[in-house]
Structure 1
Amino acid sequence: MEDDGSYRVLAAPEVGGLRLLDRETYEPVVTAESGHDASVDALEPGYLVDVNLDWSTSEPTIQSFSVRRETLYVFADEIDPVFEVAQEAWADAQMAGDSMNSRVTRNTDNEVNGVLYVFGESEMTSMFESFRDGSRPLEPLVDKVNEREGDEERGVFVLRPAIEEFVIVVIALAKGGTYARTIRDTYEL
């Protein structure tokens, strides 16, 4: 059986195949390690792709795909330092008794360059791992930014500080822009 659909490529270091997020159901799909008719080596976490999957085996194989947007998802654990706007957003969330908070970020010219979210992190329910494996999709956050700013290639960073008790999700409006480059340079990503 074959199936066409829109998927987000997820980070999946523990699986041999690709991990894809079905954009309709928000369910992760893990593909076979091999046997794909298409060259999947060029796919990076975050890419939005239209995929034709062959489900005739226990693990689906990719028959063909086309990349719709080369958005990038980058994950970094134990980051240091934690930038000030993230610390402030988390402090505000704690004062309000909330487990998450968000902020629009701006460059030095006061132009919007991204959105920052902070989420409470615990050992029992790791937000960082949930975002990485797709069990808690980043898709609604990215969709919300795209609704306001148009469909573009974004830089999405999921960062877990070494000492803090929260996870940071940054959606840089321009994947190749100054904000995204600064985050990559700061954390050597």
Structure 2
Amino acid sequence: MEVTTAGQFRVYRSPRDRDETLLLELPDDDVDWTDPTAAADAEDAFSPTYVPHDEYDGALGETLGMLEPGNVVDATLTWDDGNPRFADVAITDRTRFRFVGAATGLFDAARETWRAVEDAGEAMGSRVTYSTERDPNAVLYVFAKQPGARDLFEEFRDGVLPLDPLVGRVDEQADAPDAPREVFVMRPLDEPFVLVAIAFDKAGLFARTMRETYCDA
């Protein structure tokens, strides 16, 4: 029996199969991710669905070929005996997630943020960074690595720990709440923390510098 469902989803690369996409269904728009209680419940708020993205023709196939981790889509899925397929998809937010699993030469602002967290005796913290013109251009989040317990980098990359609560806080506070962001999740080789850097402007200097320094493109 075929069933059709529709919703809004954040796109992730599937950790299981390169020929499928991981979709995390987004909660209602009225969730306030600046509320610590809501953020704490994030792991239970996003429902994952694994959907094959190969063997589609026409406009649907072209759109699926353009999907990148971090995009938000409005999608309709058809379910045949419990197996989902895309029936329709539209990209509504071109925010991009980038994951760097072996970062070296981390920039000063990230290390300074971590030193402040250590001095405060905390396990995580954040700070806003500014351009040379003193305009806010990004927010940095640092999280203590947890060797032998959890790999936070992998949990962020695989959607186990959704990034939406962090992106949602930026959207609540930034001057352009609907602008596409660029999110860099980094596991430095020589630092005791995981970094999530959210560039306010995907086309801005901060995002471009991060791509050129730490990413292939």
Structure 2 residue 46 is matched with structure 1 residue 30: no
TM-score of the pair, normalised by structure 1: 0.94
Structure 2 residue 77 is matched with structure 1 residue 60: no
TM-score of the pair, normalised by structure 2: 0.82
1:6–1:49 contact (8 Å) kept in structure 2: yes
Deviations 1:117-165 (A, max 9, x none): 0011223201100001111000011111111121111011101101112
1:171 to 195, 198, 209: 198
- Which structure features the higher share of helix residues? 2
Cα distance in 1 for partners of 2:55, 2:89 equals 14
Identity of aligned residues (%): 38
Q: How many Å apart are 1:13 and its aligned residue? A: 4.7
Helix, strand or coil: the match of 1:125? coil
Cα distance in 2 for partners of 1:112, 1:32 equals 39
Helix, strand or coil: the match of 1:55? strand
Q: How many Å apart are 1:54 and its aligned residue? A: 1.2
Cα distance in 2 for partners of 1:122, 1:95 equals 18
Structure 1 unaligned blocks of 5 or more? none
Q: How many residues align?
A: 189
1:34–1:61 contact (8 Å) kept in structure 2: no
2:10–2:72 contact (8 Å) kept in structure 1: yes
Structure 2 unaligned blocks of 5 or more? 28-44
Structure 2 residue 142 is matched with structure 1 residue 122: no
CA-based RMSD of the aligned residues comes to: 1.5
**AA at the equivalent of 1:21:** L
Cα distance in 2 for partners of 1:57, 1:90 equals 49
Cα distance in 2 for partners of 1:33, 1:4 equals 16
Helix, strand or coil: the match of 1:146? helix
Q: How does 1:24-173 map to 2 (within 5 A)?
A: 24=27, 25-32=45-52, 34=54, 36=56, 38-39=60-61, 40-123=64-147, 124-149=149-174, 150-173=177-200
Cα distance in 2 for partners of 1:59, 1:46 equals 23
Give every structure 1 segment of 4 or more consecutive aligned residues whose post-TM-superposition deviation is greater than 4 Å: none
Q: How many Å apart are 1:35 and its aligned residue? A: 5.3
2:100–2:215 contact (8 Å) kept in structure 1: no
Q: How many Å apart are 1:36 and its aligned residue? A: 4.8
Helix, strand or coil: the match of 1:81? coil
